[in-house]
Amino acid sequence: MKKVLLLISLLTAVNVSYADAVSDTLAQLNNLDITLKILFLITILSLAPSILIALTSFVRIVIVLSLLRHALGIPQSPPNQVIIALSLFLTFFIMKPVFEEINKNAIQPYLKKEIGDMEAIERAKNPVKTFMINNTRKEDLKLFLDIAKEKPKNPEDVNMITLIPAFMISEIKTAFEIVFVIFLPFLIIDLLVASILMSMGMMMIPPMLISLPFKLILFVLADGFELLTKALVQGYRW
């Protein structure tokens, strides 16, 4: 009888130890899962500026606004902080439909625990990919598809690693085209002022000094900022 009781005690101790070990292992796995999520979140936050630049309309806007200063002949005004802030809020305005779709289809269901992590990421990626494909030149996308030797059957199958550089190159090209159109009227004013000064024998006076007020008043009277903002916003397709 004593042997039976001793055996039962040993089995009970073993079962308790096994249960404790299993619970400790599950707790460690849960902690590891939370740790990985925190690490992933920190990584995303550290890469947020690069993601904002690469996946949105920020590149085109900041290039156009920066080179506008050179076209006017005042490369230091408005200052860089103003240019970046304006570009940032214009980017939020342009990307608003995309952000709303991400919030509706990915963030809110994830917060309500209706979908998992990977499905939330996939749902958040789709609106961004659609926006990028709609605003990427076909020749630029074809260039990177040929380099990567990819042959997707439809636009949704394009790899993001291939799409991102194609989108950025396309944005830079479009920005330079817009800036070229902006430069033309200001260049004509510079040439006229330089010709008038030379004909009057006033070659010691810098033409930029005389043409700057005329360029500023022309830009203001023509509602330059309104036209430029309208062109930037309406130039995108969702």
Show me where the domains of the chain are located: 57-64+71-234
Angstrom distance (rounded) from CA 133 to CA 152:
13
Angstrom distance (rounded) from CA 102 to CA 129:
11
* Residue 195: predicted pLDDT: 82
CA-wise closest residue to 49 among 16, 91, 15: 91
Judged by DSSP in three states, 205 sits in coil
In this predicted model, what pLDDT tens digit does every residue of 76-124 receive, in sequence order?
888 889 999 999 999 999 999 998 988 888 888 888 888 777 788 788 8
DSSP 26-54: HHHHHHHHHHHHHHHHHHHHHTHHHHHHH
Angstrom distance (rounded) from CA 187 to CA 72:
9
- What pTM was computed for the model? 0.78
**What integer is the mean pLDDT of 22-44?**
55
CB-based burial label for 44 (10 Å; 0-12, 13-18, 19+): exposed
